[in-house]
Amino acid sequence: MSDRPVAEPQDDEEDCAPPKKGGRPSIWQDSFLLVVNGATQLGATDREIAQMIGVSERTLNNWKHTRPELAEALKIGKEVADNRVERSLYQRALGYEQEEVKIFMPAGADKPVYASYVAKVAADTTAAIFWLKNRRGENWRDRTEKHHTGTVAVEHMDADQARAEISRFLEGEKQKQRGEETSH
């Protein structure tokens, strides 16, 4: 790693580009790849990774373009983290069981008592809906889209004709409501 303190990221343009003849050498080190891979698998953001290796986020972004091995390490590490979250969401949607331990301290005992048991975590409908909306959106999305074909005829009405049409419609709705009330 670099001797630079982590808390002070560098923002020098020279560190962003590949080394040039006669210029200051880049601070890039191949050991950064191990940090990047591990940190991304644990869910670190680009900003956090840049801080870990002692550079600015801008430098890290430029290195992504000039150092394919860095871009690949970021991609692979983020996929591992995303896959882990996806599996967790899936398990949460279905419910699962996990082994747990309860610790008791009986009155008068010298040592605690450890009791292992299997805890059941109920399925989470919110997680299930989220999963289905993303994986099977055509069947589970909130909005459905309808496409109409053909033509629609539009007649021009004056204000009196429009009022009369609205009155007929409202009267029909009132009659429907009266019919529903008497059938209950």
Residue 92 confidence (pLDDT) above 80: yes
Query: For residue range 126-167, what is the model confidence (pLDDT) as tens digits?
Result: 999 988 888 888 888 887 677 778 777 777 888 888 888 888
- Could you tell me the residue ranges of all domains in the chain? 13-91, 95-139
Query: For residue range 71-85, what is the model confidence (pLDDT) as tens digits?
Result: 999 999 999 999 999
Q: What is the pLDDT of residue 183?
A: 67
Q: What is the pLDDT of residue 180?
A: 73
Residue 22 confidence (pLDDT) above 70: no
Tell me the pLDDT band of 4, cut-offs 50, 70 and 90: very low
165 with 157: CB under 8 angstroms?
yes
Q: Which residue has the higher pLDDT, 177 or 93?
A: 93
d(CA 98, CA 118): 6
Q: What is the pLDDT of residue 59?
A: 93
Rg (CA), the chain: 32
Residue 14 confidence (pLDDT) above 50: no
d(CA 29, CA 54): 11
Nearest-10 Cα torsion for 7, 8, 13, 18: -50
Q: Read off the DSSP letter of residue 142.
A: S
Q: What is the pLDDT of residue 94?
A: 94
Listing DSSP states for 126-140 in one string gives HHHHHHHHHHSHHHH
Q: What is the mean pLDDT of the chain?
A: 84
Contacts of 152 (CB under 8 A, 6+ apart): none
